[in-house]
Amino acid sequence: MRLYVERGYEQTTVAEIAAAAGLTARTFFRHFADKREVLFAGSEFLLARMVEALGAAPPGDGPMRAVAAALDAAAGVLGRDPAWSRQRQSLIDANAELRERELIKMATIAAALAEGLRRRGVPAADASLAAEAGIAVFRVAWEQWMAGEDGRELAAVMTATLNRLAAVTAAE
Mind listing the pLDDT tens digit for each residue in 105-155?
999 999 999 999 999 999 999 999 999 999 999 999 999 999 987 889 999
Quote the CA–CA distance of 36 and 85 in Å, as a whole number: 15
CATH for 42-169? 1.10.357.10
**Quick check: helix, strand or coil at residue 16?**
helix
The CATH class, in words, for 1-35 is mainly alpha
The pLDDT of residue 172: 62
Quote the CA–CA distance of 113 and 135 in Å, as a whole number: 9
Q: Which parts of the chain fold into alpha helices (H)?
A: 2-7, 14-20, 25-31, 43-56, 63-78, 82-93, 96-119, 124-147, 154-169
Quote the CA–CA distance of 67 and 126 in Å, as a whole number: 12
pTM of the model: 0.90
**Domain limits, CATH 1.10.357.10, in the chain:** 42-169
**Domain limits, CATH 1.10.10.60, in the chain:** 1-35
